[in-house]
Amino acid sequence: MSVRADSLLDLPCFLKITMRSIQFREALREALQEEMRRDETVFLMGEEVAVYDGAYKVSQGMLAEFGEKRVIDTPIAELGFAGIGVGAAMNGLRPIIEFMTFNFSLVAIDQVINSAAKMMSMSGGQFTVPIVFRGPTGSAGMLSSQHSQSFDNWYANTPGLKVIVPSNPYDAKGLLKSAIRDNDPVIFMESEQMYGEKGEVPEEEYLIEIGKADVKREGTDVTLVSFGKIIKTCFTAAEELEKEGISCEIIDLRTIRPIDYPAILESVKKTNRLVIVEEAWPLGSIATEVTFMVQKLAFDYLDAPILRVTAADVPLPYAPTLIEAALPNAAKVVKAVKAVMYRD
């Protein structure tokens, strides 16, 4: 039986949901395996996904189960295998293209944006491109400027794409399964630093609807909006602020194209204050877009200017001290929350 994740708590009492703690990479692997067993048109292609069992071991054991025609190692040629994936999707298959990091997707961005994202529009609806481009995004420690970038907002700026950035194993599995079944091209962005993290995931099959945010923590004084691994930073800050009597509500967008504006607005109308936390650079960020929409649609509910906490407007350095200074952290979020509370 397949169920929507948001309805798990409403299932009849005779249906027992069995939860277990698994790693983020294992949740992704289960999603891939379940969808490949379900649909023979689904296949995985990318660098080191087969013989090496995946650069991050997401595809461990999948070559042995599905064979070399459905788990395919590629040369270091992102533009080439992204283009093969787009062509395969146009001809009835459902490719999953793994980038070893989205930093390398820039080599393939012409195929992603000028082919996958635009094909349905350019063909007048004659071609759909049911393809998933997935892999890690953002910083992952001392990897410096060319391996630490967050391109989430770049792809979210592209009509024709859906962009998903999960923050935990439960969401990752349910959203990846939905992405693979979707008839539109989907960008599915993970975090290298999260692959080993554990979380509760049902043994039963479930799906999570694309485009629905999730209130991860109820609160009354200020709304924190974020997505991806930075959600953990919001929780750390919220726990620190709770000691000072400030109650934070945390909204995990999960999908940044489309954005669930109603969920954000509902929370802001309750708390009257908003801080947005994002790992990307500030100019043209998701934080900027959310700020515009909230001031447009809920201006009269705001008791303070909206603040955002983003990465510094510089290429990410290599030194750990400079990385800490450049990226969002709990101390910066605490400072921003106190500012909108007029308690700084």
Return all residues near 193 (Cβ < 8 A) that are at least 6 apart: 139, 140, 141, 229
To the query of whether residue 203 is one of the catalytic residues in this protein, the response is no
Query: How, if at all, do strands 162-164 and 255-257 pair?
Result: antiparallel
Q: Please, where are the H alpha helices in 123-254?
A: 152-156, 169-181, 231-242
From residue 60, give the alpha-carbon distance in Å to each of 70, 72, 171. 14, 13, 20
Amino acid, res. 120 = M
Which one of 26, 30, 78, 190 is the catalytic residue? 78
Cβ-contact 227, 165 below 8 angstroms:
yes
C-alpha span between 20 and 202 (Å, rounded): 6
Question: Coil, strand, or helix at residue 90?
Answer: helix
To the query of whether residue 78 is one of the catalytic residues in this protein, the response is yes
Six-digit token string for 170: 């439960």
From residue 64, give the alpha-carbon distance in Å to each of 23, 171, 300. 21, 27, 59
Which one of 147, 209, 242, 266 is the catalytic residue? 147
Burial class (CB in 10 A: 0-12, 13-18, 19+), 344: exposed
Catalytic residues: 78, 147
